[in-house]
Structures are given as structure tokens and as C-alpha cells.
Structure 1
Amino acid sequence: MSLDATLDEVQNSRFRNIYNQLVKQYEKKSQFNEVELFCILLVYHKFALRNGIKAKYITKKQLANVFEVCFKISEVFTVERITSIIAKDTKKEIDPMGWLNLFEVFMTNDLETKMKFCFQVYDFHGVGGLNREVVTKYVEKFFKSDDEDEAGELVVSMLDLLFKKFDIDKDGVISFEDYSTVVRQQPLLLEFLGSCMPEVSNLTTVAYCSNVLSKITDFDKSSE
């Protein structure tokens, strides 16, 4: 079966041969069905072909462009954090598994998965907790002002408010347990330190473009 009319029979066959085993393994744990996984990987494959007919991977620069154009996420530090989580290495290339991981997280309806991902993005030291120094780096981005004293006061006030809300055990660190307890009760606080997941409207567009049909209805309902 040909998935893409822009690829000839030989290219479609090569595509199937490259990704068939990965799809079989990944489907066992995925929210996507077999056809959807092939469609998601076909997008990846066509990006990879931009790097040469025999290229197997996309570059981090290409992924950053996808974030900006398709998912509307352009903040450099956030993109780097997401990339490090889904790619799990520091190479210049993003492998097909990393690409699938990205779609798996971005398109999930599972709050637990979303919480784990967002907390990983925020926890840039990878220590399993957000201390006052870490939270300050995020909060400072919310208050840009020529008046440094005023901005400083706003930052301190916001820090106090966030730790009062999220630091349930009052140990000076927002643990994942603290964070998840609050977010389960108030899901709108999922991205409390800044956006790290696409808006539903952008996900809907990507779902249409990548032919992930099972998600389109879900996204349409979420946007109502």
C-alpha cells in the first residue's frame, strides 16, 4: 500500500522496509494505530530526505523549525528542554523514536503523561524537584520591566504565591508529588511555569497534515 503519491513505488517500499520493525514494536505501547504511526513517520522520513536521499535522521535545527512553524513553540530554552527529553541524547540528529515520542506526548489525552512531561521540562537540573532558584528563572520571564525594583518585587510576590500553592509539604522544594497533587485538582495549572505544549488548534492542524485521524475529533471537542 502506497502512503504517499509523491514517493514512487521504490521509495514507498524503501520507506516501509526502514520503519516496519519500529512500527511493530512501538504500536504495542502507543495510543496510535499502525497506519497512524506510519503516517507520522512518513512526515519524519520526508524531512530526513531533505538532508539527502540516503539520510536517516532529521537535525535538531529542523526540529526547532517544526516547533516554531507547526507547534508555535519558539522559546529557545523550552525547545532545547523538550528536545533533550524526547531525544534522550545530545547528538545533532533526532532519530525516528524521538519523533514518535514527541507526537506521543503532544497528542496524548492522559493527564499523568502530560504532568510527567511538563515537570521534566521545568526541572532542567534533572533532580526531581523545583527549588526557589529554578522557579525564579521561569518567573523572571513573566516580569520584564525597565523598573528593576518593581520587577523584583513582582517576582518575589509571584514566588511566594507559587510556593504557597505548590509546595504542599513546605520543604522549600516543589516535588513532582506536590505538583501532580495540585494539577490533578486543577488541570489548568499544568503549565504553571510557562507553555511547553502546543495549543489544541495547532495540534489539530498537525493531526490533519499527518493524517492522525483518531485525534482530530478529540481535539475538536477540546476546543469547543
Structure 2
Amino acid sequence: MSRKRTQQLVDSLGRASKHFSKGEVECLVKLFDALVAESRSHFAAVGFDCNMFRDVLYRMFGMMDDVMMDRVFRTFDRDNNGCISAEEWVGGLAVFLRGTLEERIKYCFEVYDLNGDGYITRDEMFQMLKNSLLKHPSEDPDEGIKDLVDIALKKMDYDHDGKLSIVDFEKAVRDENLLLEAFGPCLPDIKSRMAFEQKTFPETRKL
């Protein structure tokens, strides 16, 4: 990206961002440019693809679950073109790193709503939770997951329709914040978030 284009982008995103300072936006755009150069994908003119993004989630935030990483990519990729642009990168990280509870609830719900129909269904919960349980050779793992899904629905399905709407999900999380990532880790933990910020925003080290 040319210096002039970078500066225009930083100015624009800096004005729009409510979670990052202009200096932090500049650092994020520089990191974005470095990742684009590293990815060498056919999207290089506009951004980087899912493979590069998954690599970022793994290297910088310790994420390993394939389903979760793909879903996080899709929430960042707002225009669904299979590529993360600089605007999507900064906008996505604003919620990912520093989102309000309301923003994180909306983000997690989008991640967990696998088919985008506005509900987290029993089948979707099962699919996400099946990777999270340690498999015991003498037990049917599916039974344990079904039990977990039943527990989740009992606790979170306020209108008793057998699935979670955004209203159900938000009410459950506001009642008990630990339910925010009930169906899999899709936000960075405090340690990896702080490490990322210290490395990406050099000025934070001086505070």
C-alpha cells in the first residue's frame, strides 16, 4: 500500500474508530500491510485470505479450533468476499480486542449462528461442542454432548422454542457473563490480548 493511501486510510479509520487511537490504527494498518505481504495470495491487492487469517489467530491468539477460526473469519469478512480488507481488519479487531459487552454478545452470537439464520439451533450447538469434550473410549461421546446441549438450552432458551435467538443469548450472558463463550472460544484470552497489544502498539509499553 502506498504511503499516501496508508495515511488516508489511517485518517479515515482513526476518525471512525471508537476503540483505537489514531496512533493505534496506524500500527494496525502497518501490521495489516506486513501480513498481506507475507500471505502472497491472489487477494494481495485488497487484503489477505482465510488461510492467512487462521494463521494469525493461531500465532497471535492461540486459537486452534477449525470451526471457530472459520467463523471468526466470517464475522470479520463483512462483505463476504473471502478476503479481509484493512477496514475489516481494524473494525473486527476493535470488537475482538476491546469491544463493549453488547458488541461482544453480538459478535459471539454471529460466530455461533453457523448458517446465519438468526438462531443458534440444537444442531449448531452440537457441532460446536463436539470438539470441546475429551473423548473417553468407554463412553459414547455424542451422549455427553447431547447432555451439554440440553443443559445450555435449559439455561439460555428463555422463550422455550428449542433454539436461541439473539434476545435469549443476550439475556443469558447479561445474567451470567461466563456464558458469552458457551459454545467455544472465539475471543482472545486476557494474556494473548495483552501480548498482542504490547507488541503491536509500542506506546503502550511506555505507560
TM over 0.5: yes
Shift of residue 216, structure 1, vs aligned partner: 9.8
Whichever residue aligns with residue 12 of structure 2, its letter is Q
Answer yes or no: is 1:25 the counterpart of 2:16: no
Shift of residue 195, structure 1, vs aligned partner: 0.4
Whichever residue aligns with residue 146 of structure 1, its letter is P
1:187 to 177, 182, 185: 177
Cα RMSD, aligned residues only? 2.4
Residue 157 of structure 2: aligned partner: 167
Shift of residue 100, structure 1, vs aligned partner: 0.8
Whichever residue aligns with residue 137 of structure 2, its letter is D
Structure 2 gaps of 5+ residues are none
User: Scaled by the length of structure 2, what TM-score is found?
Assistant: 0.86
Q: What is the percent sequence identity of the aligned residues?
A: 24
Shift of residue 76, structure 1, vs aligned partner: 1.6
Residues in 2 aligned to 1:206 and 1:194: alpha-carbon distance in whole angstroms: 21
Residue 40 of structure 1: aligned partner: 28
Aligned residue pairs, count: 201
Shift of residue 90, structure 1, vs aligned partner: 4.8
1:118 to 86, 108, 122: 108
Residue 204 of structure 1: aligned partner: 194
Residue 118 of structure 2: aligned partner: 128
1:105 to 95, 112, 118: 95
Residues in 2 aligned to 1:84 and 1:202: alpha-carbon distance in whole angstroms: 21
Moved over 3 A (4+): 89-93, 212-217
Is the CA contact 2:15–2:22 (under 8 Å) kept in the aligned structure 1? no
Shift of residue 215, structure 1, vs aligned partner: 10
Is the CA contact 1:107–1:215 (under 8 Å) kept in the aligned structure 2? no
Residue 145 of structure 1: aligned partner: 136
